[in-house]
C-alpha cells in the first residue's frame, strides 16, 4: 500500500472532433433517408425487413444488398427493391422508464427507452419515447417520430418518439354580462344593509329566502316582503377537502342554514369553528363584510 | 481435444472504492498467489483481459505487464474483453501442443469513471451510441421482456455472499451488480504438467457463441447464443452441481438458467456471483475460478461456468469443469 497520500486528479479522455467513420451503402442510405425525414429498412432474402438496416442478414450472414458492389443513387430501381420505407409510426414492444436522465440522454426530462416495431418492419428500433409520465407508457402503445427541424444524417435526427394522438384538450372560455333579475337585485340590495329579505306566499304561507316574485310550489305571486335572520340553525353541512376559489383554505365547511323566520334554508360558508365541532342544529349568525355575507359563525352566548 | 485443467485460481478482496492501487499493483498479489498455488513461475503463454476505457488510457494493459516480469520477452496476448475470453484464447493456445501452461488474468477499476456511460462506448457508433443508451437502460429493456423473480435472486445471491471473503460487504440485496474494483488470475496446465497434480479442475468443454449486436434484432427474453454455447460445451451431458453465472442484473439469471438448461437442483452462484462483486473484466474469469474451486474442494463433482460480453447478454461463453478429463 502506498504510504504517501495518493492525490486524486481529474482525467478527461476525449478525441477532439471525434472519429470519422464511413457508413457504407446500407447505414449511409438509412441515415440519408433519415435526414430527408423518412425511415427505411432493408429487405433480406427471406423477405424480412430489418430496421435499422444491417449490411448482413443476422440469421444467415448473407449480404442484404442484392447489388452490393454498386454505388447506386438513392432512387436506383435495383436498390429500391432492397430498401423499404417503414413506419413512421410503430408499436412499443418493450420499454423501461428513466426517471433521472443522464446528460448524454436524448431528453432532459423523464422518458422511456423503448423497442419500437415500426410498421412494415420485422425488427425493433431502440429509441426514446417522450410520454410525459410513466403512467402514459404501456406495451403495445402506438408512437410516432418527432423529427428535428435541422437534420444532419444521424439516428438523433429523430429527437424521440411520441405517443399517438388519442385525446385533445378543448378549451372553453366566453365572457358574459349578467344581471341578477328583479327579485335577486332587491335581495342583494337588502344585504348591503345587512338585512335578509324574504317573501311570504299568500296561498301556502311559506316564507322563502332569498326574496322571490312567485311561489315555487303553487306559482302564486308573492307581494309580502319580510326580514328574516340574521341568526339561524344549521340543518345539514359538508366538510370540503378540495379547495374552491371562494374558499381556498381546506378543510372548509359549507352548511344549509335555516334563518329564523324562514321556511327554506340557504347555503353558505361556516367559519370561526373547527370543522369537527359543527353539528346539525348549531345556532349560527351571519357575519357581514363588504356589503354581503362573508360567512356564518356560531352564535355567541349573550 | 487436448486435456486442459485449472491448476490455480486467485482473486483480490474486492472493494467498492479506489484503494489507491494502480492496475499493476492490483494484479501483483493475485499473480503471486497463482504462482505459489501452481508451483510455476514461468508460463508458456500469458493472456489478459481488460478495458482501456475503464482507465481512460490507451494500451493500459501494457503497463499492467509490469506485474508479470515480461523480460526476457514472453509469449503474451490480450483481449479487450472479460478475461474469461482471454482464458478461451489460452485454452486454444494450449491445444497447439507446444506449451503446457498458461497464465490468465483480468482486472478492472470501475471506480475511476462512470461505468454506465463507459458501457455506451461498446455500442455500435451509428444506431445506439449517439442515443446515449447506457448500461442500466439497455438492461432495463431486457428486464422488461422477461418474467423473473429478481428479488429472490438478489436475496439468494446476497445470502450466499456472506460466506465469500472476497465479495463486497453489501448492507442489503441488490438487483444490479455493484461498482467494484478488483482482479483475478487463473493458471491452466496441460500435457506433462497434468501428471504430478491431483488438485485439478479439468475443462471438459468450453465454447462461446454470439447474438446480433442490436437489441431490437433478437428476442431479449431468451439467449440463443448462451444456449448454443452450452450445447457445444456439453452442459446437458451430465448433472450440474454448481453453476457460476455472469449475472450483472438479476433478471439475467432467469434467462441464462433456461438457456443453459440447468437442472432445478443446480446451486447457482454459491459465491454470491457478480451481484456481490463485479470487478469488470475479471468478473467472468472469476466465474470459471469459482466453479473450478468447487470442483477442487469436492463440493461439486461437475460445475458450469458462464461469462458474457456485450449489451443484453450478446456474447456468451460456457465451460464445463470436473475432476476427470
A252 found inside a domain: yes
Same domain, A104 and A122: yes
Tell whether B298 lies on the interface with A, counting CB pairs under 8 A: no
CATH (domain of B245): 3.40.47.10
Residue A137 main-chain phi, psi, to 5 deg:
-90, 140
A56 found inside a domain: yes
Same domain, B160 and B68: no
- The DSSP H or E segment spanning A188 is helix A182-192
How distant is the Cα of A67 from the closest Cα of chain B, in angstroms? 22
pLDDT value of residue A73: 52
Mean predicted confidence (pLDDT) in A251-267:
92
pLDDT value of residue A68: 52
Domain around B236:
134-167+204-322
Same domain, B67 and B146: no
Half-sphere exposure (Cβ direction) of B92: Cα atoms closer than 13 Å = 10
B233 found inside a domain: yes
Residues of B in contact with A114 (CB under 8 A): 141
Positions in chain B short of pLDDT 70: none
Same domain, A51 and A158: yes
Mean predicted confidence (pLDDT) in A54-66:
88
Overall domain count for chain A: 3
pLDDT value of residue A110: 97
Overall domain count for chain B: 2
Same domain, A100 and A149: yes
| Contact state of B214 with A126 under an 8 Å Cβ cutoff | yes
**Closest residue to B216, CB basis, from A2, A6, A123:** A123
pLDDT value of residue B206: 98
B121 found inside a domain: no
Same domain, B291 and B237: yes
B227 found inside a domain: yes
| Largest separation between any pair of C-alpha atoms in chain B | 56
A15 found inside a domain: no
Burial of A299 per CB tally in 10 Å (0-12, 13-18, 19+): middle
pLDDT category of residue A99 using cuts at 50, 70 and 90: very high
pLDDT tens profile B1-50: 999 999 999 999 999 999 988 888 899 999 999 999 999 999 999 999 99
pLDDT value of residue B280: 96
Angstrom distance (rounded) from CA B69 to CA B87: 20
Predicted confidence (pLDDT) at residue A31 exceeds the cutoff of 90: yes
Same domain, A273 and A221: no
Same domain, B237 and B215: yes
Residues of B in contact with A11 (CB under 8 A): 56
Same domain, A94 and A37: yes
pLDDT category of residue A69 using cuts at 50, 70 and 90: very low
Same domain, B240 and B304: yes
| Contact state of B212 with A58 under an 8 Å Cβ cutoff | yes
Same domain, B163 and B227: yes
| Bridge partners of residue B155, in order along the sequence | none
| Contact state of A94 with B56 under an 8 Å Cβ cutoff | no
User: What is the distance between the terminal CA atoms of chain B, rounded to a whole angstrom?
Assistant: 10
pLDDT value of residue B172: 97
**Per-residue DSSP letter, B36:** H
Q: Are strands B76-79 and B45-49 parallel, antiparallel or unpaired?
A: parallel
pLDDT value of residue A77: 47
| Contact state of A155 with B130 under an 8 Å Cβ cutoff | yes
Instruction: Mark out the alpha helices in chain B (DSSP H runs).
Output: 23-38, 52-55, 60-64, 83-95, 115-118, 135-145, 150-161, 224-233, 250-260, 283-296
| Contact state of B126 with A128 under an 8 Å Cβ cutoff | no
pLDDT category of residue A80 using cuts at 50, 70 and 90: low
Same domain, B65 and B183: yes
Q: What share of chain B is helix, strand, coil (3-state, %, to 5)?
A: 40, 20, 40
Angstrom distance (rounded) from CA A165 to CA A169: 11
| Bridge partners of residue B216, in order along the sequence | none
Residues of A with CB under 8 A from a CB of B: 1-2, 6, 8, 11-13, 19, 21, 23, 27, 31, 50-52, 54, 58, 94-98, 102, 104-106, 113-116, 123-128, 139, 154-156
Same domain, A220 and A234: no
Whole-number mean pLDDT of chain A?
88
A173 found inside a domain: no
Mean predicted confidence (pLDDT) in A220-225:
86
**Closest residue to B130, CB basis, from A50, A125, A156:** A156
| Bridge partners of residue B244, in order along the sequence | B305
**Closest residue to B127, CB basis, from A52, A98, A114:** A52
Mutate to test the interface with B, among A14, A64, A94 (most CBs of B within 10 A): A94
Residues of A in contact with B130 (CB under 8 A): 154-156
| Contact state of A96 with B220 under an 8 Å Cβ cutoff | no
Predicted confidence (pLDDT) at residue A220 exceeds the cutoff of 50: yes
A1 found inside a domain: no
pLDDT value of residue A76: 52
Same domain, A47 and A158: yes
**Closest residue to B140, CB basis, from A54, A113, A156:** A113
Same domain, A218 and A248: no
Asked whether the beta carbons of A161 and A127 are under 8 A apart, the reply is yes
Predicted confidence (pLDDT) at residue A213 exceeds the cutoff of 90: no
Domain around A219:
179-228
Same domain, B64 and B26: yes
Q: Which of residues 193-252 of B touch A (CB under 8 A)?
A: 212, 214-218, 220
More confident residue, B260 or A241: B260
B29 found inside a domain: yes
Same domain, A134 and A263: no
B173 found inside a domain: no
Cα–Cα separations (whole angstroms), residue A132 to A163, B17, B31 = 10, 36, 52
Chain A residue with CA closest to B126: the answer is A155
Predicted confidence (pLDDT) at residue A265 exceeds the cutoff of 50: yes
Question: Rg (Cα) of chain A, in Å, rounded?
Answer: 37
Domain edge (last residue) among A163, A189, A217: A163
B306 found inside a domain: yes
| Contact state of B120 with A104 under an 8 Å Cβ cutoff | yes
pLDDT value of residue B85: 98
Angstrom distance (rounded) from CA B223 to CA B311: 12
Q: Of A193, A187, A264, A283, nearest to A296 (Cα)?
A: A283
- β-sheet with B302-309: strand ranges across: B76-79, B45-49, B101-109, B181-190, B4-11, B201-210, B315-322, B302-309, B242-244, B267-268
Chain B residue with CA closest to A19: the answer is B125
Same domain, B280 and B185: no
**Closest residue to A96, CB basis, from B20, B143, B217:** B143
pLDDT category of residue A117 using cuts at 50, 70 and 90: very high
How distant is the Cα of A241 from the closest Cα of chain B, in angstroms? 39
Same domain, A50 and A156: yes
Same domain, B184 and B229: no
B304 found inside a domain: yes
Mean predicted confidence (pLDDT) in A204-217:
87
Angstrom distance (rounded) from CA B319 to CA B284: 11
Predicted confidence (pLDDT) at residue A1 exceeds the cutoff of 50: no
Asked whether the beta carbons of B237 and B121 are under 8 A apart, the reply is no
| C-alpha cell, B227 | 444456449
Q: How many beta-carbon pairs below 8 A join chains A and B?
A: 96
More confident residue, A172 or A203: A203
A14 found inside a domain: no
Same domain, A135 and A54: yes
B125 found inside a domain: no
Q: Are strands A158-163 and A142-147 parallel, antiparallel or unpaired?
A: antiparallel
Same domain, B17 and B55: yes
Same domain, B140 and B273: yes
Same domain, A94 and A202: no
pLDDT value of residue B144: 96
Residues with Cβ within 8 Å of A256's Cβ and at least 6 positions away in sequence, in order, are: A234, A235, A236, A237, A265, A266, A267
Mutate to test the interface with A, among B113, B128, B131, B314 (most CBs of A within 10 A): B131
A19 found inside a domain: no
Predicted confidence (pLDDT) at residue A2 exceeds the cutoff of 70: no
A4 found inside a domain: no
Chain A residue with CA closest to B133: the answer is A105
pLDDT value of residue A78: 47
Asked whether the beta carbons of A266 and A257 are under 8 A apart, the reply is yes
Amino acid at each position: 500500500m502506498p504510504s504517501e497520500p495518493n492525490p486524486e486528479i481529474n482525467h478527461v479522455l476525449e478525441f477532439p472532433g471525434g472519429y470519422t467513420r464511413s457508413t457504407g451503402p446500407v447505414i449511409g442510405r438509412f441515415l440519408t433517408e433519415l435526414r430527408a425525414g423518412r425511415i427505411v429498412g432493408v429487405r433480406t432474402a427471406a423477405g424480412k425487413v430489418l430496421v435499422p438496416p444491417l449490411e448482413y442478414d443476422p440469421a444467415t450472414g448473407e449480404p442484404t444488398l442484392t447489388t452490393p458492389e454498386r454505388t447506386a443513387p438513392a432512387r436506383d430501381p435495383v436498390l429500391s427493391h432492397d430498401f423499404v420505407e417503414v413506419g413512421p409510426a410503430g408499436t412499443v414492444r418493450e420499454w423501461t422508464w428513466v426517471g433521472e436522465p443522464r446528460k448524454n440522454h436524448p431528453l432532459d426530462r423523464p422518458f422511456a427507452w423503448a423497442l419500437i416495431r415500426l410498421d412494415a418492419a420485422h425488427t425493433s428500433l431502440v429509441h426514446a419515447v417522450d410520454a410525459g409520465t410513466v403512467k402514459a407508457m404501456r406495451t403495445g402503445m402506438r408512437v410516432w417520430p418527432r423529427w428535428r427541424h435541422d437534420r444532419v444524417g444521424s439516428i438523433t435526427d429523430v429527437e424521440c418518439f411520441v405517443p399517438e394522438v388519442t385525446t385533445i384538450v378543448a378549451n372553453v372560455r366566453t365572457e358574459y354580462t349578467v344581471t341578477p333579475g328583479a327579485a335577486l337585485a332587491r335581495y342583494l340590495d337588502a344585504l348591503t344593509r345587512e338585512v335578509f329579505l324574504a317573501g311570504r306566499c299568500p296561498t301556502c304561507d311559506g316564507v322563502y329566502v332569498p326574496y322571490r316574485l312567485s311561489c315555487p310550489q303553487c306559482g302564486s305571486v308573492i307581494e309580502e316582503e319580510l326580514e328574516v335572520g340574521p341568526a339561524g340553525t344549521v340543518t345539514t353541512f359538508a366538510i370540503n377537502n378540495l379547495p374552491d376559489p371562494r374558499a381556498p383554505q381546506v378543510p372548509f365547511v359549507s352548511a344549509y342554514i335555516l334563518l329564523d323566520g324562514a321556511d327554506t334554508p340557504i347555503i353558505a360558508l361556516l367559519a370561526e369553528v373547527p370543522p369537527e365541532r359543527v353539528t346539525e342544529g348549531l345556532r349560527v349568525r351571519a357575519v357581514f363584510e363588504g356589503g354581503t355575507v362573508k360567512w356564518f359563525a356560531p352564535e355567541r352566548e349573550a | 481435444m487436448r486435456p486442459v485443467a485449472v491448476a490455480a485460481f486467485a482473486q483480490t478482496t474486492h472493494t467498492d472504492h479506489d484503494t489507491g492501487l494502480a492496475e499493476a499493483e492490483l494484479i501483483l498479489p493475485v499473480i503471486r498467489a497463482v504462482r505459489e498455488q501452481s508451483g510455476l513461475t514461468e508460463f508458456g503463454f500469458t493472456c489478459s483481459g481488460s478495458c482501456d476505457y475503464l482507465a481512460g488510457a490507451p494500451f493500459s494493459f501494457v503497463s499492467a505487464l509490469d506485474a508479470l516480469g515480461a523480460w526476457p520477452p514472453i509469449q503474451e496476448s490480450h483481449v479487450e474483453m472479460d478475461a474469461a475470453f482471454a482464458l478461451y484464447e489460452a485454452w486454444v493456445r494450449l491445444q497447439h501442443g507446444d506449451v503446457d501452461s498458461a497464465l490468465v488474468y483480468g482486472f478492472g477499476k470501475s471506480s475511476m469513471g462512470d461505468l454506465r456511460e463507459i458501457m455506451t462506448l461498446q455500442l455500435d457508433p451509428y444506431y445506439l451510441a449517439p442515443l446515449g443508451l447506457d448500461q442500466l437502460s439497455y438492461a432495463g429493456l431486457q428486464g422488461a421482456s422477461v418474467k423473473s423473480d429478481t428479488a429472490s435472486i438478489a436475496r439468494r445471491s446476497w445470502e450466499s455472499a456472506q460466506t465469500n471473503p472476497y465479495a463486497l460487504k453489501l448492507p442489503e440485496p441488490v438487483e444490479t451488480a455493484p461498482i467494484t474494483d478488483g482482479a483475478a488470475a487463473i493458471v491452466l496446465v496441460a500435457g506433462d504438467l497434468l501428471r504430478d497434480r491431483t488438485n485439478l479442475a479439468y475443462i471438459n468443454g468450453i465454447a462461446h457463441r454470439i447474438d446480433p449486436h442490436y437489441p431490437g434484432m433478437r428476442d431479449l427474453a431468451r439467449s440463443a447464443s448462451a444456449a448454443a454455447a452450452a450445447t457445444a460445451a456439453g452442459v446437458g451431458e451430465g448433472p450440474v452441481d454448481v453453476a457460476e453465472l455472469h449475472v450483472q442484473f438479476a433478471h439475467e439469471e432467469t434467462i441464462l438458467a433456461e438457456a443453459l438448461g440447468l437442472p432445478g437442483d443446480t446451486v447457482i452462484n454459491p459465491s454470491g456471483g457478480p451481484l456481490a462483486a463485479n470487478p469488470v473484466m475479471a468478473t467472468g474469469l472469476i466465474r470459471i475460478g469459482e466453479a473450478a474451486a468447487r470442483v477442487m474442494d469436492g463440493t461439486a463433482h461437475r460445475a458450469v461456468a458462464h461469462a458474457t460480453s456485450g449489451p443484453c447478454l450478446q456474447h456468451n461463453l460456457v465451460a464445463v469443469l470436473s475432476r476427470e478429463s
